[in-house]
A = this chain, B = another copy of it.
Amino acid sequence: MSIVKGPQAFPRAEFLRRLTAVKAEMDRLEVDTLIVGNSSDITYLTGYTAKSGYVPQAVVLSLVDEEPTFILRRQDAPAALHQTFMDRGKIIGYSEALIGNPDKDGFDAVIDFVNEPGAANRGVGVQLGALSARSAEKFRSRLPKARIVDCTHSVAWIRMIKSDLEISTMREAAAIADAGVLKACEVIRPGVREADVVAEVAAQLARGANGKAGTDFAPMYFCSSPRTGTSHIQWSEDVIREGSQINLEIAGVRHGYVSAIMRTFSVGRPSDRLRRLHDAEVSGLEAALGAVRPGATCSDVANAFYRTLEKSGFQKDSRCGYAIGIDWSEPTASLKDGDITELRPNMTFHLMVGNWIEEDFGYVISETFRVTESGCEVLTKSPRKLFEL
C-alpha cells in the first residue's frame, strides 16, 4: 500500500518561495541543474528531516521543473514520500545494492538521473566543498561534458534569511530550549549524577513547551567542574558536588530548526571571579544585542561585545556567534571582527559568548536572536542570571 503524506510543517507555497530564490541564484550562476546533498539544505528545500544522510542522497533542482527530485536510498524513500511536499514521481529510491558497496554508491544513482549524454557544456551545480575527494572526482568523470560549478554554500546563504513562518518555528524551538533551562534549575543539586540531570533535561526537550513537542535532539553539553574550561564534553560520570559550576548548552528543535541557549549554574555561592565574569559577559551580550539592526555588520555586533567585555578586564579570543537555523549552525556568517556580512531582517544568530579563559575555568551564556526591521528580537527568554542553586 502507499504511504500517506504526513502533516507538513510548512505550506507548499513556502517551499515554492524557497525554490524560486534558489532558482534565481542558479540562473545567476548559469547553472541548469543543481545537485544538493547537504542534509540541512534538503530539509530547507523539501521538509525532509529523517536521518538518512549517512549514505549519499541528493535533491536535484532543474530550472525547468517546479518541484525538485529527491534521490535517496530505496529504504528511505517512503519517509521522503511521507515528509516532503513533492509529488510521488519526484521521489526516486535507489537500489540497496549501492549500500556498503566499495565500487558504487548513491551518487552513481544521482549522476544516472542527471546524465543526459547530449547536453554538452550544461552548467551543473555541485556542493564540491561537502563532497569527499572521491565523490567529487566521480561527479567530474561521470559528467564529462558538463561545466561543473561549485555551489557548496549557495543554498545556505539563501536560507540565512528566514520567512516569518520559519521565525515562528524558531520561536517554538526557543521556548523548548527555555523549558530545558528551567528543568536544569529544578534538578541540578548536590549528590545528583550528571547523567540524571541530563536525563531530565533531555526528556523536557522532547516533551517540548506550550504543547509543541521537540521533534529531535540536538547535541547537549554539560561541562561541570573541573571541566568548565571545556566546551564540547557531553557530560561525565561524576556526581554534582557543593561548589560545582555547570556550563550548560542545549537547544530546542522544531522540524529541523534549532534555537540554542547557554547558561551557567553554580551549586552554592559562586566565586567573586565567576560573578565578575558573569557581569562582564552579560554587559557585553547586551551591548551586542543593542548593536543589532539592519545595515549593521556582523563585525559591528561582535565589536560591541568585545569592547564592552574588555572594559571589565576580560578577553575572549573566539568568535561570539554564528548564523543559526536548520541543524544548528549555518556555514555562512560569524559574529566576529572583520566579518562584514550586513544584517538583514529575519537573519537569525546564536550570540554565543561562552568564554573559556583558563584550562579549568570558563563561563557560558548565549541567546538566539533574529534581526527585526529596526533592531532585534531575542527568541530565548530565560533570565540572564548566573543561576545559584
Contact = CB atoms under 8 A, between A and B. Distances in A.
Interface of A: 1-4, 6-7, 49-52, 54, 74-79, 81-83, 96, 99-100, 128-137, 193-196, 198-200, 202-204, 206-208, 213-217, 219-221, 226-227, 229-237, 317-319, 322, 329, 334, 336, 339, 356, 358-361
Contacts of A360: 1-4, 78
B99 A319 contact: yes
Contacts of A235: 215
Given A51-B219, A358-B1, A195 B202 contact: no
Given A79-B227, A133-B133, A199-B207, 17 more contacts: A1-B359, A2-B360, A4-B360, A6-B236, A7-B237, A50-B230, A52-B231, A52-B232, A75-B318, A77-B359, A99-B319, A128-B133, A129-B134, A130-B132, A133-B136, A196-B207, A202-B203
Nearest to A254: B237
Contact of A361 (B1, B96, B226): B1
Contact of A213 (B49, B78, B193, B361): B193
A55 to B, nearest CB: 10
A131, A233, A329 interface centre (most CB from chain B within 10 Å) = A233
Contact of A76 (B230, B234, B358, B361): B230
A106 to B, nearest CB: 13
Contacts of A194: 213
A23 to B, nearest CB: 25
B3 A226 contact: yes
A366 to B, nearest CB: 14
Nearest to A339: B100
Each complex incorporates copies of this chain amounting to: 2
A319 B96 contact: yes
Contacts of A99: 318-319, 334
Contact of A50 (B52, B216, B233): B233
Contacts of A216: 234
Given A227-B82, A339-B100, A356-B75, A206 B199 contact: yes
Contacts of A134: 128-129
A46 to B, nearest CB: 14
Contacts of A133: 128-129, 131-133, 135-137
Contacts of A220: 217
Nearest to A137: B133
11 contacts: A4-B360, A49-B234, A50-B232, A75-B356, A76-B232, A79-B233, A130-B132, A133-B136, A195-B206, A196-B206, A217-B234
Contacts of A81: 359
